[in-house]
Chain A
Amino acid sequence: MKMRHKIKTDSSDIALGNLVEVNDVTFGYSPHKPILENVSVKIPKGRFVGLLGPSGSGKSTLLKIIIGLQKPWKGTITFLGNNITDSHAYSSKSIGYVPQIESIDWNFPVTVKEVIGMGIWNKSGVAPWFSKDVDVMVGIILDDLGIYSSEFRNRQIRELSGGEQQRVFLARALIRKPTILVLDEPVSGVDYNTREKIMEILRSLNHDLDMTIIITTHDLGGIGKRLPWVICMNKRVIAEGDPLKILTKDNLLRTYGLADYNDSIISNDNISNGNTDNTNNNDSFTIPTKYVPPPSDRLKIKNDDDEI
């Protein structure tokens, strides 16, 4: 995957059409206790969106409604202008979904190849085993994700590291050649380097292939702040837009319910990134339109680890 840093303009005002539209959706798991209340979200083609919010804020639920795992009580979902609230006509082909890696039983006896092959289970023949074609496609996808070892695809998933697990799941989504990629907490519970690697892959998918990406995250400082577009949620959409514009004290208070959360998050993160001046956050002219790579301080962090 080539990392071309072409700058794109914000496409929200350009008439590309919305890929996904969530209109006035209300949903809950138990009656009379809605988790989402009158949520409306529009996601244009090619956008990299982060759903931010604390645990239980309904961001994962909204994701599940978008991909058709849950049906809303009220409201509609359209995909490229077609109402798919009941039919979920798009779900079988154009969507790539990466679940939370915590939800997977990693002792399950399957190989990397089998997991990735699941992405095209209906296109790989009726035989119970995965064909040679799948093998070739798996090789290509893994190459793209920066895994070149040919024996990797025969490894058991229990032998993989956190970053490898996440990339295998990404490969299972990408082998479907999706137009929209949906990831539930892709970087929770992974270390700094893995997190940056995964975000780099997502960024380049968004950049180079113009793939629409939706992720959820509760990691406001590490990820949310650097995304090109965020939606702050707590039962309803609180704010939507560029993170540097909308992550204000007031919005964060309404999202997370903490008065000084804004200050602490932003200042802490700057310290951990080795960024001593606060000008970056106050400078409204450096608004990114796509994912912004972090100030490259990996070397420094590695040194810190070594000292410990």
Chain B
Amino acid sequence: MSKRERFNNLIPSLLSSILPIHTITLLFLESLLEPFTYEFFTNAILVSILVGGVCGLMGVYIILRGMSYIGHGMSHAVFGGAVVSYIVGFNFYLGAAIWGFVSAYLINVITRRNKIKADAAIGVVTTAGFAIGVLLISMTRSYTRNFEALLFGNILGITDQDLAVIMLVTCVTAFFIFFYQKRLLFTLFDKETAKVYGVRTDMAELIFSLILAAVIIASMSSVGVTLIAAAIIAPAISARMLTNNFMKMVVASTIIGVLTAFLGMYSSYFLDSASGATIVLFGTAAFGVSSLYAYSRKLYQTHTHEKFIRHSHPHIHEGEHMHKHRS
């Protein structure tokens, strides 16, 4: 029995010594902890928790900026770079990063002429990048298994290098968001005035885009390129349903991201499913639950003033006809 196994048996054995727990319950607990006996799984759980948190954090700024589509596009574009670097034998992260930045630059160049709008430019450039990846895969069949992991996420595909990269990206992202929060908020809310008041909005946006690209690349192996967009957006929109307060929204989105990523990765072990798809479905479920919560809260808060004014907001009743707005 290895050290790790002994550690994992510790909790059930402790519990059984204190409480008269049935053997079946013990077996159940043991099987719940079973995945943690594998090193690849502890790696995968760590990676997915970090990915979930970082995606949730970035997601808030992305949905408020109205650029959900660029996350989707970037992840697809990066896929081409990943495939090329696999085939050439180049470092995966380096290849994907260069490819990502080149496509971001191309999108920028095309939209600068004003004739073609950003969504169209993203649609062409990023899908072309994806198509190059698919073309190369179909020409070199032997790599199929790896690429499926890249597309949909696979816990078996997560390596120590992935863990190191996502740790680094998490640190950089947290650092950036902490010190740039006010500047980002101001830029998102009112870019023009932010510029007048001395915020270097171009710089903030450029750093934000670079970090987004880094987050996407670091998330590829656990969530998969086709599903990253949902992993970024779902926690953020769930948080948006729960609160109107920006700071609370950032915290809630990060927590929801961590929780759904953990649950998704964990259940993908038992279901033997693609980890990315499972994580994304948990995220969608979180959105469903939070929407239901918001809807029922709205029903509860709806009230009528005088004759015709009917609206909904948090309030405290004072006396019969008075009510006060509450923050």
Contact = CB atoms under 8 A, between A and B. Distances in A.
B189 A115 contact: yes
A159 B247 contact: no
A109 interface: yes
Contact of A69 (B177, B178, B183, B195): B195
Contact of A99 (B188, B192, B244): B192
Given A99-B190, A118-B185, A126-B179, A110 B246 contact: yes
B195 A151 contact: no
A110 B189 contact: yes
B198 A122 contact: yes
Interface residues of A, number: 37
B197 A176 contact: yes
B303 interface: no
A108 B313 contact: no
A128 B197 contact: no
B325 interface: yes
Query: Which of B190, B195, B198 has its CB near the most chain A CB atoms (within 10 A)?
Result: B190
A165 interface: no
B189 A128 contact: no
Interface in B168-185: 177-179, 181-183, 185
Interface in A101-120: 103-105, 108-111, 114-115, 117-119
Nearest to B243: A109
A155 interface: yes
B177 A128 contact: yes
A121 B199 CA distance: 9
Judged by DSSP, the binding face of A is loop
A148 B171 CA distance: 43
A109 B249 contact: yes
B240 interface: yes
A100 B197 CA distance: 16
B179 A121 contact: no
A118 B189 contact: yes
Nearest to A156: B244
B245 interface: yes
A55 interface: no
A161 interface: no
B198 A110 contact: no
Interface in A186-206: none
A109 B240 contact: yes
Contact of A97 (B181, B193, B245, B325): B193
Contact of A121 (B186, B195, B325): B186
A172 to B, nearest CB: 8
A251 interface: no
Given A69-B196, A118-B190, A128 B182 contact: yes
Contacts of A114: 185, 246
Interface string A262-284: 00000000000000000000000
Nearest to B313: A159
Contacts of A156: 244
A280 B246 CA distance: 52
Contacts of B197: 91-92, 95, 97, 118-119, 121, 176
Interface string A50-94: 000000000000000001110000000000000000000001110
Contacts of A151: 324-327
A18 interface: no
Contacts of B190: 99, 103-104, 118
Contacts of A68: 196
Contacts of A69: 192, 195-196
A289 interface: no
Nearest to B189: A108
Contact of A124 (B64, B182, B243, B313): B182
A276 to B, nearest CB: 36
Interface string A151-168: 100111011000000000
B194 interface: yes
A99 B182 contact: no
A285 interface: no
Contact of A109 (B177, B192, B244): B244
Nearest to B180: A128
Interface string B305-319: 000000001000000
A111 B327 contact: yes
A142 to B, nearest CB: 14
Cβ-closest 3 pairs across A and B: A92-B198, A128-B181, A154-B327
Given A95-B196, A128-B177, A130-B182, 4 more contacts: A104-B189, A108-B188, A128-B181, A129-B181
